[in-house]
């Protein structure tokens, strides 16, 4: 969800204690699993899903 609030990838990695390469691996996995062809399209999909969700899961923040 950090990407949805437009945090910088380096800041997200620092906050989560992961390397940039690990973050890239996670993003690539999400792209593959969702069929999104770009990060921009993935974020658009996640934004739509977040708006449909009636409750916020604090573990995703």
CB neighbour list of residue 10: distance below 8 Å, 6 or more residues apart: 20
Distance, in Å, from the CA atom of 32 to the CA atom of 18, rounded to the nearest integer, reads 21
**Domain definitions of the chain by residue range:** 3-47
CA distance linking residue 28 with residue 45, whole number of Å = 15
- Report mean pLDDT in 10-residue bins for the chain, 61 residues: 70 91 93 94 88 65 51
Q: Which pLDDT value is given to residue 45? A: 92
What is the rounded CA–CA span in Å between residue 48 and residue 8?
Answer: 21
CA distance 30 to 25: 9
């Amino acid at each position: 969800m950090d990407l949805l609030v437009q945090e910088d990838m380096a800041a997200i990695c620092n906050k989560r204690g992961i390397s940039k390469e690990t973050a890239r691996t996670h993003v690539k996995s999400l792209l593959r699993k969702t069929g999104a062809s770009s990060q921009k399209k993935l974020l658009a999909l996640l934004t739509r899903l977040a708006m449909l969700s009636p409750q916020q899961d604090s573990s995703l923040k």
